[in-house]
Structure 1
Amino acid sequence: MDPTNPRILFAGTWQLEIHTWGRTSGGPGGGLHVSRDGGDTWEKLNGPDNTIGLPKKPVGKVAVAVAPSNTQRVYAMLETGDGIPWDGQPTEDGQLWRSEDGGRTWALITRNRNAMGRPHYYSRVVISPDDEDEAYFLTASFTVSTDGGRTLDVIPRAEAPGGDHHDMWIDPTNPDRMIVAHDQGLSISINRTKTWFRQRLTNAQMYHVTVDNAVPYNVLGNKQDEPTYRGPSNSRILGTRRINHIPRGMWHHVGGGESGFATPDPTDPNIVWSSASGSGMVGGIVVRYEEERRQYRPVEVWPEQSRGPASGVRYRFIWDAPVHISPHDNETVYVGSQHVHRTRNRGQSWEVISPDLTLNDRSRMGLSGGLTGDNIGVEYAGTVFGIAESPIEAGLIWAGTNDGKLHITRDGGESWTDVTGNVDGLPEWIAVRSIAPSRYDAGTAYIAADGHQVNIRDPHVYRTRDFGASWEKITDGIPPSMLSYTKIIVEDPVRRGMLYVGTENAIYVSFNDGDDWQPLQNNLPAAPVSGIVVQEHFNDLVVGTYGRGFWIFDDLSPIQQMTPEVMASASHLFAPRDAYRFRPITPPSIPYDDPTIGEDPEYGASLNYWLAAEASEAPTIEILDGSGMVVRTLEGPNRTGVSRIHWDLRDEANEPIRMLTPPRYAEHIEVGDEGRPAPGGQQISILMPPGQYTVRLSVDGATHEQPLTVLKDPHSAGTEADIAEQLAFIREVREDVVRAGEAVHRVEAMRVQLGTLSRFAEDEDLSASVEDLRQKLMDLQETMVDLRLTGQGQDGVRFEARLLQKLGYLVGALSIADFRPTDQEMEVKVILHDALEAHLAELEELVRTDVAALNETLRGLGMLIITDDAF
């Protein structure tokens, strides 16, 4: 739009077709258009009859920009084909045209291909608000012109905003400020591109998702325009300022490239197999990564570099070719081209174990791209898109293709059966991209097919119970829409008949083997669900999305255990999963303003219960140890349906220690009815040891119990004997803290009474006695707590530590890890205990003598006596 006249509009149209077998950019529908009446009428400027300097032959993608400082200057980039014949016909040559009269006439400015690069993926030109000659071209590189586009300067990658640039904003009031959007996030400059601040965003496009069997487990996947990633589901960074967050620094690459799968060895999390795109066999890169060495070995099926049409390659690997590790033998790995390939020696050699399983339609294996060729395997047709071996029958392998074929072998590939024709309703050329063989019955399998590249948008999910001899469509409950095409299906490993399916914008669950589906969206963003996996040990549902990164639904237990009987009951306590007693680790450097920081799961035990209706009182949850003693009582939400609370694996803390008087020398600080925290007074809640516990739910007179296992942190070097010694030590120190707190409360109660008495006492001798006792109590209390501390301005560093602070410090230092107390800690505990005993003895003596004497006087005067009852 002309910024000085909103009625003048320029628009580009783009004729584009994308199919499984190719992309065609360009045609008579493409062009540059102008309206000078606010959009009421439009004029196409290019085309065979134009005489104003624009291309006459068909064009593809168009980008246009009006110079804000001179609106007569208009830039237009048009995809032309660069003079290279397309479909047997000559094409126009050129990249950038410019008009000096508001779009009425044009001149070709440059043929430099750095202006547009790969037009279908990125083509944007942005003009500086204060300089009509300063133009920015956004492609894979970041290109700048300062002479109106005649010469182009490609900025080196290290100095560029990022890679694969897509859009740019320049501040119209201060052109030194600019923001560039690219595949890695946003980059911000405040000095006209001299330097950049690069900011990641929570918009990762993940092709698939896998998990390993580490504790805690890792999440893996291939990210658009970056390599594979691996990161923890739980950072174990506890007790830091960013508690319950997973820093980006805990993620790292595990070989391979941007697309495809990152599949960890099911028995050895150190090994990751990855398929990807790249400079090798288009989508046929296969690498084997070793975490211990942080190195990987390329083991491609056929390592001949290849570009061009699918018809010209030996093996047709799609952009995100499947890699599948046998559930029966972790040394057996499958990948798919038009064949299924297998290695049994870590990729040293590969064997073809299937014929061409595709349609092998050579008419749909030509060059892709249209005016601008683009042949990197994204639109390769006739490839195996999904491979899955039965988890209960070795050698039973399913293979689906992106041209609508489905095969099965039951003898490890010796013979294959085409069962495509048995799938009633399966459209031609639909991509059979996800296959889930059942773990409960060898003859049962499920497939999810995606037809959006042949304009089939409805969900296509099918089930067989007879090894593919017959199939049923199972899509009831998935609403048809432009975004309901199905991408993945997964079977639950705990509950038979429970399935998950991902579509282009949602996730669904079925409890009856697919007969009907219901949404499982909750707070999951409406993004393409590209991957689903259940991490079996932790029983978590892990989802990969193409645009919003990885998400985890923690603890599937209540969903798996939900039955009609449960829903018919007034209340129910679900059996909890085991809880790990993780100990904290040291964190990496954490950028606190990083929006890509992940969320840790809640610490401790996940406890889930059902209420058919709101109870008369909030439900209570008690945790009992192995001896039957209640160690913690929690209050749960009082709401209909399934509720979840977490027990942090700690017992009940001691009561808070409070002061009823203001700090010394800071009497202006108000003390409320509840008092103020005593300096150094800690509430100590002990992390319970590994072992067996019982969870008890009480609601409206009904009681439900379930066993709970608390597991030791497998990364902890301390033994269970060490933990037992530590807990005994902490319990003894906590008892001392409790006794110290009671002493503080006794003294505070007396100080408050003495203060009141002092204000109303008229007798001078009585006033002197009151003040003398008050001072003695304060002097004694100063050995326990520093009465000068306000809790403001870090005033704790001004003075020496007192007994109450030292007791809390002793516990805090020891409880960081699972080790028995050191000899020094034992010695300090004895010293502090003896100091407490001396303090308490002095207090008792003071009460027995001075307090008793004052009370005798008060009784003689008919006044209320001073009591030392703790509050």
Structure 2
Amino acid sequence: MNTVLRTTWRLLPLVAAILALASAGGAQQVTPEAYEQLRYRHIGPVGNRLAAVAGVAGDPLTYYAGAASGGIWKTSDGGEYWEPVFDGQVDHSVGALAVAPSDPSIVWAGTGEPHIRSNVSLGTGVYKSTDAGRTWRHMGLGEGGPTRMSRIVVHPHDPDIVYVGALGHAHGPQQARGVFRTTDGGDSWEHVLFVDENTGASSIEMDPSNPRRLFAGMWTVEVHTWGRESGGEGSGIYLSEDGGDTWRKLEGNGLPVLPVGKTDLCLTPADANRVYALIETGDGVPWHGRETESGEFWRSLDGGSTWELMNHSRDLGGRTAYYNNCFVSPDDPDEVYFQTSGLSRSLDGGATYVNHQGRQRPGGDYHDMWIDPLDGDRMIVANDQNVSVSMNRGMSWHAAELPIGQMYHVTVDNAIPYNVLGNRQDGPSFRGPSNSRTGGFGGIGGPISRSEWVTVGGGESGFATPDPEDPNIVWSSASGSGARGGVVVRWDSFLFFCSRAAVVGVGAGGVVRRGGAAPSPRPPAS
């Protein structure tokens, strides 16, 4: 009896609202006031895409993580406990983070994802905290329209000097693209590098030995609903030797001659003359009747004056718009890390590389990395599943799955209490209870544990649809499903403790099975 009462009590606000509407008239419109007593709470599932990370040099306990659409999170104990520190802001899509090297209480955040797809969130400019993330102030750069901030670089000795790489919304021409600089802590900004309204900054790096020497990777890109146009005359590497006052494009001397796409740059304090560039080319495949460049990874040993092609492998580039980053160890100029769908490492300056996801694979689809400039063993990465910290150069990882799940859709079934179902970004379809069934500290109606969420087949960009007559049966789809391909999965919870078999239909290609030992023997309800 108590169980029923506790469960019903949580539904009273909704029941009261429905009864009030019913008594007032059958066809009356539902107003916002009807929901004023209802409150949202997080029920799961946990984990999902992180887009930016940063740490404090010399401090193994403090890190920041920026979520694709879940704000900024901070840990002060090395990654065991994370707390949200960006709640209350108008924007929750974070694309870049930076801590001032000379004052760790100053933290900068750039909003809007620079990892371009047709379904990622845009931002409203840059934010600044002067109390290590407790409070934030919007510092501008959103006046020119929606933003995607790719990188923030803070002067090593003067925290008021900051450079921001702006990619722009990338859906068409926009003036607010390129590199911006402030010399007064963000009170005013200068647009110091502007190539054209179709070209934004995909990368900014500062010479560790000379803060007036800056490299910028510029990217001509336009995103449409049907695809993406990447590359053009404006793309490439630009160099400033006067703190950003003037810039020149680096051309020839071993660099690609034909137009290229996205460029990511990486430098190291271990060798100030060493510059690496991960450059998107066409791999020599003709595009729109034109020839394209070939190659992926270039290296300069003389500060950018001359370059040599180190590697042709597409494995280092992958889906260039969605990831494609390089990072160098602060104590070994030949140790280079590459982020794509996986994490790779080279010990010979990029000539060769190996998979380096360690004994505990931290995730997939990597978007950012921070290596302590004072300790090359300590690093943090952001990917589509979690934020992960390593204290041993990536040989093992401690992963934290934050409550920032990006759900493509949500639905409910007819069970009592009802279950909530949905497909998570870069993950499977999930089903979880709307109310706790296990009790614990909160009893029935208390916290919903992670173990109460189960996968029900299907996957990213699809749907999970419960059978209206039998909630134990769920039909799920995955990305690309339809008449031309993809999958449709039948998941039967009665098989949970044996094989969890699933029947999978593959568009016009017939019927196959994925997972489990046998198809479900349960016939359709008559």
TM-score band by shorter chain is: 0.5 to 0.7
**Alignment of 1:264 onto 2:466:** yes
**Which whole-Å deviations, capped at 9, do the CAs of 1:304-335 have from their partners, x for residues lacking one?**
89xxxxxxxxxxxxxxxxxxxxxxxxxxxxxx
User: Which has the larger helix fraction?
Assistant: 1
Answer whether contact 1:141 1:157 (CA < 8 A) is retained: no
- Alignment counterpart, residue 226 of structure 1, candidates 424, 427, 441: 427
Map 1:313-352 to 2 at 5 A.
Answer: none
Amino acid at match of 1:13: M
Match in the other structure for 2:227: 22
Report percent identity of matched pairs: 56
**CA positional deviation for 1:241:** 7.4
Once residues 239 and 161 of structure 1 are traced to their aligned partners in structure 2, the CA distance between those partners, rounded to angstroms, is: 30
For residue 124 of structure 1, the aligned residue among 303, 314, 325 is 325
**2:315 aligned with 1:110, yes or no?**
no
Verify the 8 A CA contact 1:255 1:295 in the aligned structure 2: no
TM-score normalised by the chain length of structure 1:
0.33
- Deviation of 1:255 (Å): 0.5
CA distance in 2, matches of 1:199, 1:126: 22
Q: Does 1:248 align with 2:453?
A: no
Deviations for 1:581-629, whole angstroms, at most 9, x for unmatched residues?
A: xxxxxxxxxxxxxxxxxxxxxxxxxxxxxxxxxxxxxxxxxxxxxxxxx
DSSP-derived class of the 2:432 partner = strand
Task: Map residues 519-598 of structure 1 onto 2, 5 A cutoff.
Answer: none
1:303 shift after superposition:
2.5
Change (3 A) 1:219 1:158: farther
Residue 222 of structure 2 aligns to a residue whose secondary structure is strand
What is the DSSP-based 3-state SS (H/G/I as helix, E as strand, rest coil) of the residue aligned with 2:408?
coil
Residue in structure 2 matched with residue 97 of structure 1 by the alignment: 298
Deviations 1:145-192 (A, max 9, x none): 011111011236864321111111111222111111111111111111
2:396 matches 1:190: no
Partner secondary structure for residue 217 of structure 2: strand
User: In 2, Cα distance between the equivalents of 1:263 and 1:25?
Assistant: 37
Specify the alignment match of 1:296 in structure 2. 502
Q: Pick closer, same or farther for the CA change 1:248–1:73 going to 2, 3 Å.
A: same
Deviation at 1:244, TM superposition (A): 2.6
CA contact (8 A) 1:276 1:283 kept: no
- How many Å separate the matches in 2 of 1:239 and 1:277? 37
2:237 — aligned with what?
32
**Distance in 1 separating the partners of 2:262 and 2:214:** 17
Q: 1:114 is paired with a residue of what secondary structure? A: helix
Q: Which residue of the partner structure matches residue 406 of structure 2?
A: 205
Q: Within the alignment, does 1:42 sit opposite 2:247 as a pair?
A: yes
CA 272–82 in structure 1, closer or farther in 2 if over 3 Å, else same? same
* SS of aligned partner of 1:6: strand
Q: Which amino acid aligns with 2:319?
A: R
CA contact (8 A) 1:13 1:32 kept: yes
Write the distance in 2 (CA, Å) between the matches of 1:13 and 1:304. Answer: 46
CA 1:158 to 1:249, structure 2 compared with 1: closer, same or farther past 3 Å?
A: farther
**Matches for 1:805-824 after TM superposition, within 5 Å:** none
Which of 382, 400, 403 aligns to 1:181? It is 382
Contact 2:357/2:394 (CA < 8 Å) preserved in 1?
Answer: no
Q: Distance in 2 between matches of 1:153 and 1:274?
A: 36
Please give the alpha-carbon distance, in whole angstroms, between the structure 1 residues aligned to 2:437 and 2:229.
50
Q: What is the CA-CA distance between 1:92 and the residue it aligns to?
A: 0.5
| Distance of aligned partners of 1:190 and 1:181 in 2 relative to their CA distance in 1, 3 Å threshold | same
The one-letter amino acid paired with 1:139 is T
Q: 1:270-309 residue pairs with structure 2 within 5 A?
A: 270-277=472-479, 284-293=486-495, 294-303=500-509
Which of 137, 141, 144 pairs up with 2:338?
137
Partner of 2:115: none
Closer/same/farther in 2, CA of residues 157 and 188 from structure 1, 3 Å limit: closer
8 Å CA contact retained: 1:257, 1:278: no
Q: Distance in 2 between matches of 1:302 and 1:137?
A: 38
> Who is 2:256 aligned against?
55
Contact 2:430 2:454 in 1 (8 A): yes
Where does 1:668-687 land on structure 2 (aligned, <5 Å)? none
Q: What SS does the aligned partner of 1:8 have?
A: strand
Once superposed, which parts of structure 1, at least 4 consecutive aligned residues long, lie more than 6 Å away? Answer: 278-283
RMSD of aligned C-alpha atoms? 2.3
**CA distance in structure 2 between the aligned counterparts of 1:304 and 1:88, rounded to whole angstroms:** 38
- Tell me if 1:165 matches 2:366: yes
Check the 8 A contact 2:411/2:421 in 1, yes or no: yes
Q: Is the 8 A contact 2:344 2:357 kept in 1?
A: no
2:475·2:488 contact (CA, 8 Å) conserved in 1?
yes
- After superposition, the C-alpha distances for 1:193-247 in whole angstroms (9 at most, x for unaligned) are 1111111022212111111111111111111111111111111333427983222
Whether the aligned pair in 2 keeps the contact of 1:64 and 1:74 (CA below 8 Å) is yes
- In structure 2, do the counterparts of structure 1 residues 297 and 9 end up closer, same or farther at CA, with 3 Å as the change threshold? same
1:794-836 Cα offsets, whole Å, 9 max, x none, are xxxxxxxxxxxxxxxxxxxxxxxxxxxxxxxxxxxxxxxxxxx
Cα drift, residue 29 of structure 1: 2.6
TM-score scaled by length of structure 2: 0.55
Q: Is the 8 A contact 1:287 1:300 kept in 2?
A: no
Deviation per residue, 1:258-283 (Å, 9 max, x gap): 11111111221111111212699776
What are the superposed Cα offsets for residues 41-97 of structure 1, whole Å, 9 maximum, x if unpaired? 11112xxxx322111111111100111211110100110011111112111110000
**For the structure 1 residues 132 and 279, does the alpha-carbon distance in structure 2 shift closer, same or farther, using more than 3 Å as the test?**
farther
Could you tell me how far apart the structure 1 residues matched to 2:417 and 2:326 are?
Answer: 47
8 Å CA contact retained: 1:277, 1:283: no
CA distance in 1, matches of 2:302, 2:482: 48
| Counterpart Cα distance in 1 of 2:377 and 2:359 | 20
Contact 2:428–2:460 (CA<8 Å) still a contact in 1? yes
Q: Name the SS for the 2:316 alignment partner.
A: coil
Aligned AA for 1:62? T
| Equivalent-residue separation in structure 1 for 2:357 and 2:252 (angstroms) | 39
SS at match of 1:245: coil
Distance, in Å, in 2 between the alignment partners of 1:149 and 1:207 is 38
Cα distance between partner residues in 1 of 2:371 and 2:423: 32
Instruction: Work out which structure has the larger RCO, using CA pairs closer than 8 Å and 6 or more positions apart in sequence.
Output: 2
Instruction: Label 1:117 to 1:215 Cα distance change in 2 as closer, same or farther (>3 A).
Output: same
* Distance of 2:446 and 2:468 partners within structure 1: 27
Q: Is the 8 A contact 1:72 1:101 kept in 2?
A: yes
Aligned residue identity for 2:259:
P
Aligned residues: 303
Q: Secondary structure at the match of 1:7?
A: strand
The 3 A distance-change label for structure 1 pair 147 and 61 is same
CA–CA distance in structure 2, aligned partners of residues 303 and 84 of structure 1: 31
Q: Secondary structure at the match of 1:246?
A: coil
Q: Partner of 2:265: helix, strand, or coil?
A: strand
Distance 2:266 2:329 in 1: 10
- The alignment partner of 1:15 has SS state of strand
Q: Pick the structure with more strand per residue.
A: 2
Residue 252 to residue 71, structure 1, CA distance change in 2 (3 Å):
same
Unaligned 5+ residue runs, structure 2? 1-205, 512-522
CA distance in 2, matches of 1:212, 1:233: 10
Given the alignment of the two structures, is residue 66 of structure 1 paired with residue 267 of structure 2, yes or no? yes
Name which one, 1 or 2, has greater alpha-carbon Rg. Answer: 1
